[in-house]
Amino acid sequence: MNPGRGLLLWGLLLTSFTSLASVVMTGNRVIYPSSAREVSVQLTNQDAFPNVVQAWVDEGNESSTPQSARAPFMLTPPMFRLAPHSGHTLRLRYTGTAGATDRESLYWLNILQIPPSETNQTKNQLLVVLKTRVKVLVRPASLKGNPAKMEASTRIWLEDQGQKRFLNLHNDSGYYLALSSLNLAGPASKAQLVSRTVAPFETLRVPVTLNRIAPDATMTWINDQGAVVTRPVTAARQAD
């Protein structure tokens, strides 16, 4: 095998971080109202050369492929050529049965960006396939609460068990909480960071060394529009 060709094939098997992708999606997640016939996802190629894009939806397996993924969605087109500095629309249709009406269902949209084998910018360079994964949230029409005010449906409290102390954070809503961080000790103290997606009605439990939760504790999360939101959050005395 030609050594240069071997390097190229190896590069095309790699997956890089999503922040490096030049084929980008409008928004940071897909909200799919359960009553919608289909939703559109807008992609834009920021490169000066064309890319081939392949897309599929899975149920949470990061290692999924278009062949192995299992999710109740029809996505068109599943593969296409995206011209330089142009856009394209993916159409996503939910084909599953009606699920729970009191909470969202979470799936993942995979967007694979495959560059051409050679361009003026990539001669003698290693080419890398880039994969982006974004949330697809199927949102029931009857869902109560407000996803823009997640602090109102989030409860936090400290709990001692033996020699250990834990922080409990309960998402008391039917929406997924894209939690970025919690500042529990006040502005003059080190923040206790807890970055995670918290499912509807799930309680997140992490060990801490705090003696108390400050009255001015704040929670930071990512909203539907991809903006970072920081709001005060009230500590509860106990789980209920």
Domain boundaries in the chain? 3-139, 150-232
CATH architecture of 150-232: Sandwich (2.60)
Q: Which position has the higher pLDDT, 5 or 23? A: 23
Same fold for the pair 3-139 and 150-232: yes
- Per DSSP, the chain holds a count of helices (H) and strands (E) of 1, 17
Average pLDDT, integer, range 160-189: 89
Q: What's the pLDDT at 155? A: 93
In this predicted structure, the answer to whether residue 238 has a pLDDT above a threshold of 80 is: no
> How does the average pLDDT of the chain come out, rounded?
85
pLDDT (tens digit per residue) in 113-150: 988 876 555 455 556 788 899 999 999 988 988 999 99
Q: What's the pLDDT at 30? A: 97
Residues 6+ apart with CB under 8 A from 145: 152, 153, 173, 174, 175
Single pTM value for the model: 0.83
The rounded distance, in Å, linking the Cα atoms of 80 and 89 is: 10
Longest dimension (CA), the chain: 68
Percent of the chain exceeding pLDDT 90 equals: 60
**Which among 37-41, 47-51, 179-183, 190-194 has the top mean pLDDT?**
37-41
Average pLDDT, integer, range 212-239: 88
Q: What's the pLDDT at 129? A: 80
Q: What's the pLDDT at 20? A: 54
Residues 6+ apart with CB under 8 A from 41: 25, 26, 30, 89, 90, 91, 92, 109
Percent of the chain exceeding pLDDT 70 equals: 82
pLDDT (tens digit per residue) in 19-68: 457 899 998 899 999 999 999 999 999 999 999 999 999 999 999 999 99
In this predicted structure, the answer to whether residue 1 has a pLDDT above a threshold of 50 is: no
Superfamily the domain 3-139 falls into:
Immunoglobulins (2.60.40.10)
Q: How many CA atoms lie within 13 A of 122 on its CB side?
A: 19
